[in-house]
Structure 1
Amino acid sequence: MKKKWLAILLSITTVMAGLTGCGNSGQGGENAAESKASEAAASGTETGESTAAPAEGELVNVIWQWPAMGATGSGFQAVEDALNAMLEKDIGVHVTLEPALFSDLQNQSTLTITSGEQLDIILQVGTGVTPYVANGLIQPVDEYVEEYGAAIKEKCGTQLLGGYYQGKLYGIPTAYIDGESYGYMARKDILEKYNIEIDPDKLYTLDEVEKIFETVKAGEGDKFFMNIPETTSANMLHNAYCEVDTLGNTPAAGVLMLNRSFTDLTLYNLFETEEYEAYAQKMYEYAQKGYVSSDAATNTEDAN
């Protein structure tokens, strides 16, 4: 019965990348995970799950791992409450979001499952699914998407192909947008104080952003410094200074310089380009003008 509810939840979210079972065994380590996976295959159930259907009116609780950069803040609970206001009424499911550090997602999910704790949905980011599949930590979702996921197939289209591994579908890609966006976060009260209007449809250049910094710095003095969100710092160049394609998570293997041409297939060392030199010079100027905190290189405080 629980499979059905997880499948329905899958079909209305389209943001998770793996489906896991709920372990009840006290065993730990990879062998325990493999053992539980084998037992599940033999019995025709999910890893460690009970086959008993929930009582009439009883909510099915789904534990959903969620990546966090640090402290989640009060808004995190508000998101969970808003989800459950819909899910409990519509499909009888209560979702519990479990924050896990973004940099440690794989370790967190592996430890949780192998220790026997319940974990139903994980968000796999930054690593392939190979270790999850090899250790029996996730299961394919082909049959559930076929039965309940018409909306997933329509929304994802060819992007769904990215969720396959060895011929089986293990993940649902994020398909709410066909691109990435990065930028600076600004306090609304500060913008209003200096009558700064931000056009949400405009891509601002670094020179235009600097004019905003200059205005606020003049009024706020040492109380102001810019703060690039953690997910932004490595990608600011790509979106605000010049367009490149990293062909992966990092520019380590070379990049396509899309700002020069969309037909040039030459791989460039990003850090040897004139564009990167200009970007580095701009960041140096920011620091000299006091737009960057003097302890930015050593400050471990969360961006929020």
Structure 2
Amino acid sequence: MKKRMKQIMAVVLGMSMAAGLCACGGSGGSGKKEEGAKADSDKYEKVVFAYQTFNNVPSEEGLAEVQEAVNKITREKIGVEVELKPIAYADYNNQISLSLQAGEQIDLFESLFNFPDCVAADMAMDITELAPEFAPEALELVGEEWMNACTADGKIYGIPVYKPLALTPMITYRKDIAEELGIDMSQVNSVQDLDAVFKKVQEGRPDITPLAPIAPGDTGLNRLYSTNVDYLGDDYTAPKGVLLGDDTKVVNLFESQEFMDVCKMARDWYNKGYIMKDAATTTSMSLELLSSGNYFCAIASYSYPEEDTAASLQTQWGYPTGARILKEAYIDTSTVNGVTFMVSTNCEVPEAALKFLNLTYSDKEIVNLLIFGIEGRDYVVKEEDIVNYPEGEDASTVPYTAQLSCGTLGNYFIQYQMEGNNLDSLKWEEEQNKEAASSPVMGFVFDTAPVSTEYTAIANVLSQYLPGLFCGNVEPETEIPKLNKALESAGLGNVIAEKQKQLDAWLAAQ
């Protein structure tokens, strides 16, 4: 597989050099004539681009002007018209799967921590031969090591987002409340330090709840195991056989002491009233909850420095915001391919789809239209590459924004930064990509096809038990044994055995 990737990257570099030579040769090249001829014919290939958003899904009217602005560029540059299809994060994976099963046109979509499932379910097209020709800049930018994480059986099935990759678990909190109550958040360095903080919040501000879930059924505690976890291609919210630390033996996370400790902490916080009582069943996201003013903090993972993370969320919440790192970053294969753009197997215009995808990595105007919308209407420029919402507006009131999805679209490093962010932080973020601890089996991609039936059954079990355990609604000592018994019946042992078999073969081939 590595030899194959080196061949591909060599082709990419050669094509990029050739493109550079053409660009230096003047404006009369044949490539421009061909693009012009296509533009004059008013016949454009249509690409449906489905992307997730953590912000509000815009109305048709709010989206239309952004879409037309994108198409003014794509018609001229690549002879393509794009239909933008933003989908709420909580609904994204399910809606993409159902839409593709129904035969709807979706040409480009992103895997959200389900790359192996997308490949096994034949949702994604093999783009090994097409990508070097039609997305050369994206491949060159991402590089060979990251692309290895997006292959299966030596074939490329997607291109990962180019962004600060090392996800760092943090608490993001109401800075004004911490100051009001005299809480020194600089002393918070781990999840164990939060109990005392939550006690002070509860005593000083009984009108608010200390911890809001980051998403339905997700309090963020599953980012804070005492040992680094490689999920071996699974969504971290529903793992089915993992590696703990540097050990290459595949194990059941839910039988580990690490999992028991996290669930006990959740239960303790729930009993003390620190966690939102209906966190396991709510349909609300943290943005809505923290904006309400009824909560103190949330726990999630971010790939930006504390200051920038806080500044970004402050524009969303509408309150002074701070952030503290709770655990060091860790990179595994799922971190790389967790957000990977794929060409669907339904796609009838894969070349056009890859041309547009390539622009999201190379064209600054395109990617900023997708993230921030229309200048003057949805955002204003404060200084070079620094933006904010228009006066009197915020993320919930502008016609269009996908600002919270900045790390899930194309090339993050050519996107505008929100006011309050430090542009020098981009250097920190790139260093984190290089220096963060990484999995001993980086690049291993699990093929779920041999155990697809078990995967479905296990997912149903986990969706039944995990929200209650992670949100503290149930007693871990009684519920975790029930969970493991149900997982055994669903075939988790078969999954672990298959993962070990494939991993051992992969390790032997390295």
TM-score by length of 2: 0.38
Where 2:260 maps in the other structure, the secondary structure is helix
Counterparts of 1:30-109 in structure 2 under 5 Å?
Answer: 53-55=38-40, 62-68=47-53, 71-72=56-57, 81=66, 88=73, 91=77, 96-99=84-87, 101-109=91-99
Match of 2:127 in 1: 140
How many angstroms apart in 2 are the aligned matches of 1:86 and 1:291? Answer: 48
Q: Secondary structure at the match of 1:54?
A: helix
Are the counterparts in 1 of residues 67 and 84 from structure 2 also a CA contact under 8 Å? no
Instruction: Supply the distance in 2 between the matched residues of 1:59 and 1:185 (Cα, whole angstroms).
Output: 45
Equivalent pairs, count: 238
The structure with the greater share of residues assigned to helix is: 2
Q: Secondary structure at the match of 1:221?
A: coil
Offset of 1:231 from its aligned partner? 8.4
Q: Distance in 1 between matches of 2:86 and 2:220?
A: 27
Distance 2:44 2:189 in 1: 47
Q: Output aligned runs, 1:208-219, within 5 Å.
A: 208-219=193-204
Change (3 A) 1:240 1:59: farther
CA distance in structure 1 between the aligned counterparts of 2:72 and 2:181, rounded to whole angstroms: 42
Q: In the alignment, is the contact (CA less than 8 A) between 2:150 and 2:158 conserved in 1?
A: yes
Deviation string 1:51-107 (CA, Å, 9 cap, x unpaired) is: x92338999875311135795479xx79x9599579839947766243152241442
Residues 57, 189 of structure 1: alpha-carbon distance in 2 compared, 3 angstrom cutoff: farther
* CA–CA separation in structure 1 for the residues paired with 2:181 and 2:58: 27
Partner amino acid, structure 2, of 1:212: V
In the alignment, which of 221, 227, 231 is matched to residue 206 of structure 2?
221
Which runs of no fewer than 5 residues in structure 1 stay unpaired?
1-10, 12-51
The amino acid of 1:122's aligned partner reads F
Query: 2:185, 2:66 → 1: CA distance?
Result: 30
Amino acid at match of 2:100: T
SS of 1:158's equivalent? Answer: helix
Structure 1's 271 and 164: CA in aligned 2 closer, same or farther, altered over 3 A? closer
In the TM superposition, what is the alpha-carbon distance from 1:283 to its structure 2 partner? 1.4
Kept in 2, the 8 Å contact 1:245–1:256? The answer is: yes
Q: Structure 2 counterpart of 1:224, which letter?
A: T
* Contact 2:212-2:275 within 8 A present in 1 as well: yes
Change (3 A) 1:269 1:64: same
1:274 partnered with 2:264: no
Distance in 2 of aligned mates of 1:58 and 1:190: 57
Instruction: Give 2:167's aligned residue.
Output: 180
* Deviation of 1:147 (Å): 5.2
Q: In the superposition, relative to structure 1, how do residues 86 and 290 fare at CA in structure 2: closer, same or farther (>3 Å)?
A: farther
- For 1:176-227, what per-residue CA distance to the aligned partner results, in whole angstroms no more than 9, with x for missing partners? 244334444434554565566767xx99411223333233322321422411
Please point out which of 267, 272, 276 is paired with 1:293.
276
- Contact 1:256/1:266 (CA < 8 Å) preserved in 2? yes
Query: How far 1:271 sits from its partner (Å)?
Result: 2.9
1:160 to 136, 139, 147: 147
User: Does structure 1 retain, via aligned residues, the 8 Å contact 2:50–2:110?
Assistant: yes
Cα 1:95–1:189 change in 2 (3 A) is farther
Per the alignment, residue 100 of structure 2 pairs with: 110
- Equivalent residues of 2:218, 2:280 under 8 A apart: no
Paired residue for 2:307?
Answer: none
User: Residue type matched to 1:274 in 2?
Assistant: Q
- 1:53 alignment partner, SS class: helix
Structure of higher RCO (CA pairs closer than 8 Å, 6+ residues apart): 2
Q: Which has the higher strand share?
A: 2
**Pairwise CA RMSD of aligned residues?**
4.4
**Structure 2 gaps, min length 5:** 1-11, 13-36, 288-510
2:118 maps to amino acid? G
In structure 1, distance between residues paired with 2:46 and 2:258: 50
Distance across 2 between alignment mates of 1:88 and 1:221? 53
CA shift in 2, pair 1:124/1:276, >3 Å: closer
**Quick one: distance in 2 between partners of 1:187 and 1:94?**
40
| Amino acid aligned to 2:243 | L
1:247-281 Cα shifts (integer Å, max 9, x gaps): 2314432x3332xxx3x334443333333332222
**Per the alignment, do residues 58 and 227 of structure 1 end up closer, same or farther by CA in structure 2, a change over 3 Å counting?**
farther
| Partner secondary structure for residue 123 of structure 1 | strand
How many Å separate the matches in 1 of 2:261 and 2:215? 22
Asked if 2 retains the 8 angstrom alpha-carbon contact of 1:184 and 1:229, the reply is: no
The TM-score normalised by the length of structure 1 is 0.58
Q: AA paired with 1:156?
A: G
Percent identity over the alignment is: 20
